[in-house]
Chain A
């Protein structure tokens, strides 16, 4: 359900390393509506991952602001990191715990949640993402798709209202992609979670996308609904799905 109420607002965000270098992100402005499904795409090296790290407060912008629920994210970075969950491009770099259960509980431990409550929440989120059978496995025993789901569980268990995923379908097979996408859509529909994901493969997500953002050379080149901007995306090095915009729903992998 698409409700027009902004949860994240990015205003004129600029990020620069050194005062003389050209900015890596330049005047980025967009908003994420509550319970929306936004896709961010663009050529390699255009600054997508860099932008995502700003949303979780891992990087501080040189200028500009990011607001979460109308409040600057840096006013309460503790709360921001709980509300905005970031799943890295390669979840292997992100998994910290020895076993899956320990990894999912890592954020809760940092929040000072008691052991009993932690176990309860871990079980709940594992049921929701259908990874109960993985809880006692070691992280190196997981497949690529499972690692993505575990990383996702690790941020959702902290109560994230916004989930930001950096190229989550990379190196996943058809079923793993379908499974991950299905879980994301369930979250969006049942928990009103806002989703922002980076992908090069629009075909996989276009049928469910409310908002599409195209980046180029550290700037936002295009943004709007897929129907509005799809005809222009090819010039930014993005593969355009073969079906026309009117038949977008036919692209869904989940039916």
Chain B
């Protein structure tokens, strides 16, 4: 069996799984913003915090590896994009990276990218898609133009739809292989048959998912959560504030410590 639970919810009994998804989503947004402002020691404090989050949420270190893998792909993608773009700061450009030399700015760039991914993965691993979609809908209800748009639902369904399609793609590939159709022989022919079968599956899947949703009373309205926040949510906010203050002022604290030593 191929694991397609990539970046998906990990059901565990941990205090972090109990935090309200609205709080998690809000904290993640603030965290990502803060991450873009931090450098050096600050980023290291954030990294240690994220590792602690993973440890407390019992997600497992193998899940971390999937994020690293994705980080590598993303870094390559950014590299490719930067080849065609004009950078604001030449030292930020990844395509100038050589095998022997990485500038401090480039290292920070890559480190930040990985931390952003890990933070996103942490949210997704500790909240079900239903909870995240409800949280998104809860925030959207304060924006008049988007109040009636079931964005959370669309997010949830598309996120659930793609692993399914990936699973179907693997099945098609296996079926083709069993009938001796492999890309090595004739790639164009392989691609033609694969895309034909895949498109049919995708359309059929869309149709059946629509039917299945309808048959279970789905009417396409946003479903915001209005449940009151709990004590653990308040604790989470408090921990978050302390953590990020520590990250923000860590370079200064480090400097003071070094001065005292000298």
Contacts and interface: CB of A to CB of B under 8 A. Distances in A.
Interface of A: 53, 56-58, 78, 81-82, 85-86, 88, 93-99, 101-102, 105-107, 109-112, 114-115, 135-136, 138, 140-141, 154-155, 158
B60 to A, nearest CB: 14
B214 A93 contact: no
B9 A111 contact: no
B227 A81 contact: no
Given A96-B160, A96-B216, 10 more contacts: A93-B204, A97-B129, A98-B8, A101-B128, A102-B128, A107-B216, A110-B216, A138-B8, A140-B1, A154-B216
Interface in B203-227: 204-205, 208-209, 211-219, 223, 227
Interface string B158-198: 01100110010000000000000000000000000000000
A99 B216 contact: no
A136 B217 contact: no
A158 B218 CA distance: 12
Contacts of A82: 217
Given A96-B157, A98-B160, A107 B5 contact: no
A81 B215 contact: yes
A93 B212 contact: yes
12 contacts: A81-B217, A82-B217, A93-B209, A96-B213, A98-B8, A98-B128, A102-B128, A105-B130, A107-B216, A110-B223, A111-B217, A138-B8
A112 B217 CA distance: 10
Nearest to B214: A58
B40 interface: no
Contact of A96 (B9, B167, B209, B219): B209
Contacts of B227: 114-115
B127 to A, nearest CB: 11
A105 B223 CA distance: 14
A141 B1 CA distance: 8
7 tightest Cβ-Cβ pairs between the two chains A and B = A93-B208, A136-B11, A107-B216, A110-B217, A94-B212, A81-B217, A86-B215
Contact of B128 (A58, A86, A96, A99): A99
A109 B223 contact: yes
A168 to B, nearest CB: 15
Q: Which of B1, B217, B219 gathers the greatest number of chain A CB atoms within 10 Å?
A: B217
Contacts of A53: 211
Contacts of B215: 56-58, 81, 85-86, 155
B217 A158 contact: yes
Contacts of B160: 96-98
B216 A106 contact: yes
B162 to A, nearest CB: 11
A196 B129 CA distance: 33
Contacts of B146: none
B214 A99 contact: no
B130 A109 contact: yes
B214 A102 contact: no
Interface string B47-78: 00000000000000000000000000000000
B254 interface: no
B216 A140 contact: no
Contact of B5 (A114, A135, A138): A138
A88 B4 CA distance: 24
A140 B212 contact: no
A107 B217 contact: yes
A245 to B, nearest CB: 35
* Residue of A95, A135, A138 with highest tally of chain B CB at under 10 A: A138
A158 B160 CA distance: 21
Nearest to B167: A140
Given A107-B216, A140-B4, A98 B129 contact: yes
A138 B125 CA distance: 13
B124 to A, nearest CB: 10
A81 B205 contact: no
B217 A78 contact: yes
A112 B223 contact: yes
B166 to A, nearest CB: 9
Nearest to A82: B217
B98 to A, nearest CB: 42
A95 B216 CA distance: 11
Contacts of A93: 204-205, 208-209, 212
Contacts of A56: 215
B173 to A, nearest CB: 15
A247 B218 CA distance: 45
A183 B144 CA distance: 48
Interface in B1-26: 1, 4-5, 8-9, 11
